[in-house]
Amino acid sequence: MITTDITKAVQSLLNDEIIAVPTETVYGLAGNAYSESAIKKIFKLKNRPLYNPLIVHIKSTSFLPEVAREIPEIAFKLADTFWPGPLTLILKRQAHIPNLITAGQETVAVRVPNHPVISALLSQLDFPLAAPSANPFGSISPTSAAHVFNYFEDELGVILEGGVCERGIESTIIGFEDEQPVLYRHGSIAVEEIEQVVGKVVVNIHNDNKPSSPGMLSRHYAPMTQTYLTTDVLGLLESFGDKKVGLLLFQDKLVTDSDTLQVVLSEVGDLQEAAKKLYAALHYLDESHLDVIIAERFPNEGLGKTVNDRLERATKRK
């Protein structure tokens, strides 16, 4: 059930139960990172393949050496700049981090989230929280407690209420190869912002479905409704004739004589606002009994790259 009762949440976690928690990016499905039984429950409830590793959430940067070792200086520089916040670092793991979390890899993903509810929770726990996004594997990530409830209903005893997520898109994931920063996932912090702190970032995003790839499966964040991504929304709309089509647009409504459902993500053309509203718009369009959703491609800069990445994955055929 949806609740604001942090004491109950703490109790559930101490009992190796899993709960849903808000973060500034998306809601997470959280369990004790040091409890194999809790972690197994996360994978099972999400129907997530075991080869896809989880992010460990810690209270503050001072806990980083508890989960990671041989931390490069530039990792601390990034942590100092962006934590608490939507940045996940891939670092060498401490030996006691369960294999289930890292999918057997020698690295662990870690971040300090920036939301008062998960911070209050972490401050009452003496273990970190493993938490993937709180959606069934491959579906649209949740940015409100209601989204989480719609997916899992009473399978979750505690869904902590934390309002609508401020960032609305997952954290940016950065790893290090020979101390060189590498981008593994576009996210709420634009690559350009990271580059202002550490210089050139190499992009290494996998787009295949091989289990060896670190996480980014090509079809992901996907609505049930058939979804297309295009720069020519009007042209594609016309090709669908009488079908019931919904449009997901960046800034401007389309002038058309049909009564097509249209969602505009930011009337003032603000990429941050658009990113924040993206998943809620996809949830809404997906529930609107449409035959087709057409999404407009974003400008390929800053957070526009992140939005395009998610839309590309949402529109991949099965």
Residues of this chain that interact with ligand TXA (CB under 6 A) are 23, 25-26, 28, 52-55, 86, 88, 90, 102, 105, 107-109, 113, 131-133, 170-171, 173, 184-185, 214-216
The distance of closest approach from Cβ of residue 38 to ligand TXA in the complex, given in angstroms and rounded to an integer, is 15
Rounded alpha-carbon distances, angstroms, from residue 205 to 8, 75, 116, 192, 208: 39, 19, 31, 16, 9
Rounded to the nearest 5 degrees, what angle is found at the Cα of 305, between the Cα atoms of 302 and 309?
Answer: 155
131's contact among Mg ion, ligand TXA, none, with CB below 5 to 8 A by partner kind, is ligand TXA
The burial class, CB within 10 Å (0-12 / 13-18 / 19+), for 199 is exposed
Minimum separation from the CB atom of position 51 to ligand TXA (A): 9
Determine the Cα–Cα distance for residues 211 and 216; give it in Å rounded to an integer. 10
Q: Looking at beta carbons only, is 113 or 246 nearer to ligand TXA?
A: 113
With tokens 């075991």, the residue in question is 50
> Which one of Mg ion, ligand TXA, none is in contact with 32 (Cβ closer than 5 to 8 A by kind)?
none
CA distance 56 to 310: 22
Report how far residue 83's alpha carbon sits from residue 76's, in angstroms, rounded to the nearest whole number.
Answer: 10
Nearer to Mg ion, 133 or 144 (CB): 133
Of the candidates 160, 184, 162, the residue with the CA atom closest to the CA atom of residue 171: 184
**What residues from 30 to 49 belong to the interface with Mg ion (CB under 5 A)?**
none
Q: Which stretch binds Mg ion (CB under 5 A): 15-23, 31-39, 126-134, 194-202?
A: 126-134
**Rounded to an integer, what distance in angstroms lies between the CA atom of residue 74 and that of residue 295?**
37
Name the packing angle between helices 116-123 and 6-14 (round to 10°): 50
Nearest approach, Cβ of residue 30 and ligand TXA (Å): 8
Nearer to ligand TXA, 227 or 306 (CB): 306
* Min CB(257)–ligand TXA separation in Å: 41
Residue 251, binding choice from Mg ion, ligand TXA, none, Cβ under 5 to 8 Å by partner class: none
What ranges make up the beta strands (E) of the chain?
A: 2-3, 19-21, 28-32, 55-57, 68-69, 87-93, 107-111, 129-130, 159-160, 172-177, 180-185, 202-203, 226-230, 245-249, 261-264, 292-296
**Which one of residues 23, 107, 114, 133 is an interface residue with Mg ion (CB under 5 A)?**
133
Phi, psi (rounded to 5 degrees) for 203: -95, 125
- Picked from ligand TXA, Mg ion, none, the partner binding residue 107 (CB below 5 to 8 A depending on kind) is ligand TXA
Per-residue binder mask for Mg ion (CB under 5 A), 85-124, x = binder: ----------------------------------------
Between 199 and 211, whose beta carbon lies closer to ligand TXA?
211
**CB nearer to Mg ion: pick between 12 and 133:** 133
Residue number, 286 or 309, with CB nearest to ligand TXA: 309
Inter-residue contact 57 to 121 (CB < 8 Å): no
Task: Calculate the alpha carbon distances from 201 to 172, 184, 311 in Å.
Answer: 12, 10, 23
> Measured from the CB of residue 147, what is the shortest distance to Mg ion in angstroms?
13
Number of residues located near Mg ion, criterion CB under 5 A? 1
Of 58 and 109, the one with the shorter C-beta distance to ligand TXA is 109
Applying CB under 5 A, which residues contact Mg ion? 133
